[in-house]
Chain A
Amino acid sequence: MLTRRIIPCLDVRNRKVTKGVKFQNNVELGDPIEMAVAYSDGGCDELVFYDITASAERRPIDIGMVHEVAKVVHIPFAVGGGIETLEDMRRVLLAGAEKVSVNSLAVRNPDIIAQGAREFGSQCIVLGMDPVKVADKGRFPSGYEVTTRGFRERTGLDSLEWARRAEALGAGEIVVNSVDADGTRDGFELNLTSMIAMNVRIPVVASGGAGTCRHLVDVFTEGKADAAIVASMVHTGEFTIRQIKDELIAAGIPVRKKW
């Protein structure tokens, strides 16, 4: 049986892992390569690296770091933030990443999804989206508008329409990162996750709000997610991947048990 994936997210700034609430008040947590190895050895199923400053400051992607990670981490990992061109995708994938994640770039230029899928295969192309809850159901039938650039800009796109369009363009996976839940540790936004997951045929990764093992159980049952991103709850050392998986096993959710 295909297992549900637990994916620690490492926000990297100047080769340090950071974490903040709603992209504010970032604190340094450690060395990204050491942390990646520790999570991989600890049983995470995949990793994602976001170079959060790349998008805001237009700094090039740290390809050297991607390659350093690939040498020591032999599970899939994705890289997002700062990818601006097809050539950037190629460099990140050739450095050893399994997937590239595009977010604001895809909003500006949706065809980059199709180009990336044609060039490297759909399985490499992840759409990251940051939906925020909105009241205007007339303009946004899903109830969520897509934001970009660290939640700073609204796009006018409806989240569900955007997810379906990305799937049609050839995205292989969608990471749904709730702006409202991000960094709160109050639980995933289950309505949002399940709505997207039930309306596309590609895997959906839930992101934003993980604070307890119970939140993970909820996102795989009620939230219908194929995978889930964790950050603060494991970065602080409060929970281990093993603890999360034990709770998922107890709830009857299939997870990878041996590593």
Chain B
Amino acid sequence: MTAMITVVDYRAGNLTSVQLAFEHIGAKVKITDKASDILAAERVVFPGVGAAESAMGNLRQLGILEALKESVSRGVPFLGICIGMQLLFDFSEEDGGTPCIGLLPGTVKRFRPSDPADKIPQMGWNAVTKAVQHPLFEGIEDQSEFYFVHSYYPAPAERSVIIGQTDYADVTFASAAGRANLAAVQFHPERSGRIGLRLLENFCRWDGKC
């Protein structure tokens, strides 16, 4: 059965690579900025790059913040990517402090490397160590590398929501997190080659249960 993926467009970056990656694995993609489409979705992908404050502002302006929460509470498989992961937490340090959606407990912090050789943003491939067995990572070896581009990282307030972890700039951060039907990754599976596509295939097959 062909997976139907609804990708949320909230003017936070370029959605082409997300769309092309899902299409490459045979999924059908609908890109939308409408609450009604999000509420009707079988699977929601919440991607994005950019700054937290303007992204939250866009969600409010488009009137889709409540639809996202409603979609998660209904049990629809939901995948946050990059800034789309960060916005799911309670609060981000970015832009002088930005209250976020609050579907996952914790904050988003800025990398403050002690070694200037640790460049900001973290840009490139880094390993994800599995914290739990999660359907999203089925068939993906532990310590597989994914492509990251980010200056801020999620710091969950509860260990139970951590799915995978990554080391950078003196911290071990949650590079994958979630609970129940909600999952989120800090890296870009759509830019992470065959292993990233495998994660997206897993999402297309996921029933939203862990």
Contact = CB atoms under 8 A, between A and B. Distances in A.
Interface of A: 1-5, 40-41, 45, 70-72, 74-76, 93-96, 98, 120-124, 172-173, 198, 201-203, 224, 226-227, 256-259
29 contacts: A1-B126, A2-B124, A2-B168, A3-B124, A3-B145, A5-B125, A71-B24, A74-B17, A74-B20, A74-B197, A75-B191, A76-B191, A93-B14, A94-B16, A96-B17, A120-B13, A121-B13, A123-B49, A123-B149, A124-B14, A172-B121, A172-B123, A201-B116, A202-B120, A203-B119, A203-B123, A257-B145, A258-B145, A259-B195
B207 interface: no
Q: Give the residue among B23, B49, B119, B127 with the most A Cβ atoms within 10 A.
A: B119
A70 B191 CA distance: 10
Given A3-B125, A5-B125, A74 B50 contact: no
B122 interface: yes
A201 B20 CA distance: 32
A76 B187 CA distance: 12
B156 interface: no
Nearest first, the 3 closest Cβ-Cβ pairs linking A and B are A256-B125, A256-B145, A96-B16
A97 to B, nearest CB: 9
B167 A1 contact: yes
Interface string B186-210: 0000111111110000000000000
A40 B192 CA distance: 10
B122 A2 contact: yes
A24 to B, nearest CB: 33
A171 to B, nearest CB: 12
**Highest count of chain A CB atoms <10 Å: which of B13, B16, B117:** B16
Contacts of A95: 16
Contacts of A98: 17, 191
B20 A71 contact: yes
Contacts of B118: 2
Nearest to B120: A201
Interface in B1-43: 13-14, 16-17, 20-21, 23-24
B21 to A, nearest CB: 5
Given A2-B168, A70-B17, A74-B196, A123 B125 contact: no
B158 to A, nearest CB: 26
A123 B168 CA distance: 17
Residues of B in contact with A, size category? 35 or more
A41 B167 CA distance: 26
Interface string B155-181: 000000000000110000000000000
B114 to A, nearest CB: 13
A8 B21 CA distance: 21
A257 B149 CA distance: 19
Most buried by A among B17, B191, B195: B17
A1 B144 CA distance: 11
A95 B17 CA distance: 9
A258 B192 contact: no
Given A121-B50, A123-B123, 16 more contacts: A1-B168, A3-B124, A3-B126, A45-B125, A74-B196, A76-B147, A93-B14, A93-B16, A94-B14, A122-B121, A123-B49, A123-B149, A202-B120, A257-B145, A258-B145, A259-B194
A41 B194 CA distance: 8
A70 B144 contact: no
Interface in B90-134: 116-127
B138 interface: no
Interface string B40-53: 00000000011000
B141 interface: yes
B145 A226 contact: no
B195 A258 contact: yes
A131 B69 CA distance: 52
